[in-house]
Chain A
Amino acid sequence: MTDDRSTGSQPAPETPAPPAGSSRVLGPDEIRRALTRVAHEILESGHGAEDLVLLGIPHRGVPLARRLAEQIARAEGRPEGEGLSDLHGALDITMYRDDLRSNPTRAPSPTRIPRAGIDGRTVVLVDDVLYSGRTVRAALDALSAIGRPAAVRLAVLVDRGHRELPIRADHVGKNLPTARSERVHVQLTETDGTDAVDIVRLAAGEGEGA
């Protein structure tokens, strides 16, 4: 995943141009269309929104899960906002990471599980970028400490390849072939003030974590 928390949130001008050295892959319209398609895929793969829980992985998976939940609620014809908080939540995975001892201290984020819990329901994990698969591995461990879902699926906005574990996404907004020397930089209105996905070419020696 892109782990670029240091990026400040600029106030949202229309669609700011990508910074130098990077190229825009998805703009606001493409992100909206990709999420609409993923929301419908999630509905079709199950049997409607019954027993569905979308859990976003902090930081940017959380607003994505909320957006998908809103789309699903709308597609199901639910009145605005009804039962929405039972449909989505947040799953912090900090305590389950396998790279804690090779990074500066990470501040954990809140976990919010819908009141009905996850036992026997279908959990859809939501993240912005699928890369090594290690974040998803940690999320599966975190999930098993909370309950026993009937099934777990994975939805991501961008799959950039380079998996290090036998993990795949069920629903992908955009498949994005990348080089390891590149970084996928996702910005969302809720966290960064604008909706955009950029590919950033890193200078030599500037590595990226899992």
Chain B
Amino acid sequence: MRHFISIADLTREDALAVLATAEHMAQTQSRSIRKLPTLVGTTVVNLFFEDSTRTRISFEAAAKRLSADVINFSAKGSSISKGESLKDTALTLQAMGADAVVVRSASSGAAHLLAHSGWIDQPIINAGDGAHEHPTQAMLDAFTMRRHLRPEDPSADLAGAHVVIVGDVLHSRVARSNVLLLTLLGARVTLVAPPALVPVGASAWPCEISYDLDAALATGPDAVMMLRVQSERMVGGGFFPTAGEYSRRYGLSAARAQTLPDHAIVMHPGPMNRGFEIDGSVADSPRSVIVEQVASGVFVRMAVLYHLLATDAREAPRDH
């Protein structure tokens, strides 16, 4: 792995190798001293063109636990708002000696452009690009699912698991990355959304699509992932009649959560709209792993940084 742009670039072996390293990282984080010297002397730049608190903090924590230096470069208060281009920013980071760039952008393909434009030689990690992908989120979701659904085998894949992903699929890079990764690991995925929030072309994705949440939950899934309704991207409205109707038909209420099998877990990538797509009591229930997902995020991002930076980049080996 040279960059971490898209789940579509990964083989099953790549994904399992990152998950295995993440398990190792998790083990080191229970020690009395949690900081590892692995990436001492390297600089990781968090280049965020879009607001994000938890993803940026998660990457920052991951880099710091591995002893890398972290520079946060956010669009607000930077030259980007004065009209500097992505290219000029990349050249600046290259000149400053960044060893890896974590990029979040509202434009699909920004990370890919940065990685393959020739403006910058360093590994690029996609921290979310438009409605395209958010690969480290999918990795942390798979990591969390594996711990709960395959607790006896830390090297297992997710073969045979059934995951239901519910909500604003149209604007969700999390859903897209998860469909790709979960199916790569052998799981079956059902997307549930109102018709207006299913992206064009989703019928070609390797998953089932349903418009009926109760019917999907009645199949007894192993995990239910609620997506945030991204109201800020719904310019013009018209995606669903009213918030109340969306919540009634597609929200995970306490009554709906009770129909789930005992072992089923409830997930949410955050930040949650409590009482809208997920009821507060469900988010705080024992089957909710939402807080654990945040912890998993640090382990998975440590693993991704390790795979990209603790290696001889000149050789850029395909295998591990």
Q: Do A and B bind each other?
A: yes
Please choose the segment from A41-49, A97-105, A179-187 that sits at the chain B interface, where 4 or more of its residues have CB less than 8 A away: A97-105
Given known A95-B37, A111-B27, A141-B37, contact A104–B32 (CB-CB < 8 A): no
Please choose the segment from A17-25, A69-77, A142-150, A166-174 that sits at the chain B interface, where 4 or more of its residues have CB less than 8 A away: A142-150
- Whether A145 pairs with B24 at a CB distance below 8 angstroms is no
B28 at the interface (CB under 8 A from A): yes
The one of B21, B28, B37, B309 in contact with A107, judged by C-beta atoms closer than 8 angstroms, is: B21
Q: What sequence of 0s and 1s flags, for each residue 30-41 of chain B, a beta carbon within 8 Å of any chain A beta carbon?
A: 011111111000
A205 at the interface (CB under 8 A from B): no
Name the CB-closest residue of A to B33. Answer: A145
- Whether A110 pairs with B36 at a CB distance below 8 angstroms is no
Q: What sequence of 0s and 1s flags, for each residue 2-45 of chain B, a beta carbon within 8 Å of any chain A beta carbon?
A: 00000000000000010011001001100111111110000000
- Whether B32 pairs with A146 at a CB distance below 8 angstroms is yes
A11 to chain B, nearest CB (A): 24
Give chain B interface residues in 280-320, CB to chain A under 8 Å. Answer: 306-307, 309-313, 315, 317, 319-320
A91 to chain B, nearest CB (A): 12
Given known A107-B20, A145-B31, A147-B32, contact A95–B38 (CB-CB < 8 A): yes
- Whether B320 pairs with A107 at a CB distance below 8 angstroms is yes
A98 to chain B, nearest CB (A): 9
A residues in contact with B310, CB < 8 Å: 100-101, 105-106
B311 to chain A, nearest CB (A): 4
A residues in contact with B307, CB < 8 Å: 105
B residues in contact with A144, CB < 8 Å: 33
Given known A92-B24, A96-B37, A145-B33, contact A107–B312 (CB-CB < 8 A): no
A105 to B309, CA, bound (A): 9
Q: What sequence of 0s and 1s flags, for each residue 144-177 of chain A, a beta carbon within 8 Å of any chain B beta carbon?
A: 1111000000000000000000000000000000
Given known A100-B310, A102-B312, A104-B315, contact A95–B320 (CB-CB < 8 A): no
Name the CB-closest residue of A to B40. Answer: A98
B63 to chain A, nearest CB (A): 14
A13 at the interface (CB under 8 A from B): no
B222 to chain A, nearest CB (A): 26
Q: What sequence of 0s and 1s flags, for each residue 96-132 of chain B, a beta carbon within 8 Å of any chain A beta carbon?
A: 0000000000000000000000000000000000000
A103 to B24, CA, bound (A): 19
A102 to B315, CA, bound (A): 9
The one of A95, A100, A101, A106 in contact with B28, judged by C-beta atoms closer than 8 angstroms, is: A95
A8 at the interface (CB under 8 A from B): no
- Chain A interface size, as a band, is 20 to 34
- Whether B24 pairs with A110 at a CB distance below 8 angstroms is yes
Name the CB-closest residue of A to B303. Answer: A108
A residues in contact with B31, CB < 8 Å: 145-146
A102 to B313, CA, bound (A): 8
A39 to B36, CA, bound (A): 32
A residues in contact with B1, CB < 8 Å: 105
The one of B32, B33, B37, B317 in contact with A105, judged by C-beta atoms closer than 8 angstroms, is: B317
A196 to B271, CA, bound (A): 57
- Whether A96 pairs with B24 at a CB distance below 8 angstroms is no
A105 to B34, CA, bound (A): 21
B26 to chain A, nearest CB (A): 11
A111 to B25, CA, bound (A): 11
Name the CB-closest residue of A to B317. Answer: A104
- Whether B36 pairs with A95 at a CB distance below 8 angstroms is yes
A2 to chain B, nearest CB (A): 20
The one of B27, B32, B311 in contact with A100, judged by C-beta atoms closer than 8 angstroms, is: B311
B9 to chain A, nearest CB (A): 16
B residues in contact with A110, CB < 8 Å: 24, 27
Contact surface of A with B, Cβ cutoff 8 Å: 92, 94-96, 100-111, 141, 144-147
> Could you give 30 example pairs across A and B, Cβ below 8 Å?
A94-B24, A95-B36, A96-B36, A96-B37, A96-B38, A100-B38, A100-B310, A100-B311, A101-B309, A101-B310, A101-B311, A101-B312, A101-B313, A102-B312, A104-B312, A104-B317, A104-B319, A104-B320, A105-B306, A105-B310, A105-B317, A106-B310, A107-B20, A107-B21, A107-B320, A109-B24, A141-B37, A145-B34, A145-B35, A147-B32
| Given A95-B37, A108-B20, 11 additional A-B pairs, CB 8 A | A95-B306, A96-B36, A96-B37, A100-B311, A101-B313, A104-B315, A104-B319, A110-B27, A141-B37, A145-B31, A146-B32
* CB-CB nearest 8 A-B residue pairs: A100-B310, A145-B33, A108-B24, A105-B311, A104-B317, A95-B36, A95-B38, A105-B320
